[in-house]
Structure 1
Amino acid sequence: MSTIKDTCQNCEEQFDKGFRFCPYCGQKTNDELTIGVLFYNTISNYFSFDARFLKSFVPLMFKPGYLAKQFIKGKRLMYLHPAQMYLFISVVFFFLSSFTIAEWEKEANELNKKIASTPAVLNEDNQSKIDLDSIKKAKILEDIKKSGPKLGLKEADIKMADSIIQADTNNANVSWDFDKNKIDSLIKTGAEDAIIYKEMGMSDDAGYFERGVFKGMLNIAKGSGAGNMLRRAFDAVPITMFILLPLFALILKIFYFRRGRYAYHLVFTFYFFSFLFTLFAILLAVDRFLFEIPWWISFVLVLSTFFYFYLGLLKFYERHWFTTLIKSGFITFIFSILVVLTSGFLFFFGLMNA
């Protein structure tokens, strides 16, 4: 007796009639298009993500290495996938930090414009000097009055600092290694950058690095360099992390080469950086939308990330505490060097292609 067959509308495979779901692709067999069907997958995926994120949040923040350990053991549906968690948290973090960076960029550009527009005088070495008295006083005093109490300064200390700044900043200046008045004239007349570079002192056979330095100096002289450099430094962070995440996992593999394949170390890496971005995102959100966090609390929390990393290694790799302590120090040192080198390269590359 032949069995009646149905054909899946999605994968077009045949199966015995009576199945509610296709045994090949999982789609419902009588999936008529309704409003409920249209939004079912979106809603179910959203709430599934939401539930798994909430279930993952507490162990991520307070149980270092736990999520990575559970994922390696095979519990991969109970908690949020490490790569999915990292992508979600990093988007939230960079979104929140963009507000702060925008403010810094605006302040840097305003200060840069003041510096660029301030008349310069030549000193005995034919170098231009700009008096920053009016530029720096108000900013410095404002910061001291705002942050002084948090640093333990009393009203008398703040008044004394005010007097010292009023007396000493009259001598504050910024030196240019070129005749800024002449450069300003060339900029106003629309001279080509190559001519201005030569007037600034760039050598005829300047390499890639030297040209980048002079390009940055010219942008600052024009009044737009500081904010642009700050923005490009921030824009380089996501790319830097994209490059450094697999490198961090590779460092873990080198130090724990007998503790599983590379993918195991990558799982730990995703969860660890998810923790970092979650912590920093919380600090940014609280500081911006609720109340200003005292500097010492932020410092302690950031410092605690090194302790979290150590405990995570101890839990995940299950090695001796002293050996883990030594390895965590070396890993942190090596990775810090990679961060500086990669960030510097990407920032300089972006500056040259601005």
Structure 2
Amino acid sequence: MKALILSGGAGTRLRPITHTSAKQLVPVANKPVLFYGIEAIADAGITEIGIVVGDTAAEIREAVGDGSRFGVKVTYIPQDAPLGLAHAVLIAKDFLGDDDFVMYLGDNFIVGGITGLVEGFRSDRPAAQILLTKVPNPTSFGVAELDAGGRVVALEEKPKVPKSDLALVGVYLFTPAIHEAVRSIEPSGRGELEITHAIQWLIDEKRDVRSTTISGYWKDTGNVTDMLEVNRSVLETVEPVIEGTVDEASEIIGRVRVEAGAQVTGSRIVGPAIIGANTVISDAYVGPFTSVSEGCRIEDSEIEYSIVLRGASITGVRRVEASLIGRDVEVTPAPRNPAAHRLVLGDHSKVQISS
């Protein structure tokens, strides 16, 4: 069995971060989201992975390499434009051959991995197996309709009037039957080959399509709100360890990881939180659910429930929260200009001015 990871999207919902970085490499708890997916696939016993890449191919190649650090072998599959998930399957045919495979969206995050799902698929081998989860906003997802027996009868991509609240999670399992399906469909109204259309083709052809509804944690990390929520979830599992230096004037509370080379002086850190390697925290407060990457500086400032990327500095800022701070960003106070009111008032006016 092989795996196909899709990492070719533009990441428009995470701009401006993704103007200069692949969305799959934005870190959660100081580790790129893509790495969690690769590790989940490796844990399921799959060692051959194809990664579909687009404009950010060079950055993803540099980060992942040949896959040996994860115990897998990686093959890169260029995609000229993001023309749909089914298009990714189409162009990966030479890599996939006649093997069963799991398709994993590189910016998705599933707590608990996919090992049980893969083992069940290997045993039963339906033509396709999809993961579903209940969502409050099904119009933003591919949506599945199930019959009374729980079998998949229809799929629809981002429906205006959803027939259920069951959204497709970004993990799919296929036998080679999917290759005939992706060759048999036409582009959708948005010009893409939709994987929902390909799976619907299998259903219409009376192939065995099964679903698993998960109640565990899943997020599409395509926007800042979800990215921060995933960061919070992962930090809940942080084991406290101090590898850097923390002076006597500092206070460390709860599950906090201070990585090698980091320096904490005169500061208060409340976990769960991670302070990256060679980062300096001075006269500052770092609150719960905050990940600070390597080589950062936080001085005379307060930050909480945030992600700070490599090389950023926050100096003299009273409070930062629910924020995603990009690489090498500098955050400082605005200059304090003299405040004045300039008035031209008519006779008998009444004016109230907040002081």
TM-score range, shorter chain: under 0.3
Higher helix share: 1
Normalised by the size of structure 1, how large is the TM-score?
Answer: 0.21
Max radius of gyration: which structure? 1
Point out which structure has higher relative CO (alpha carbons under 8 A, 6+ apart): 1
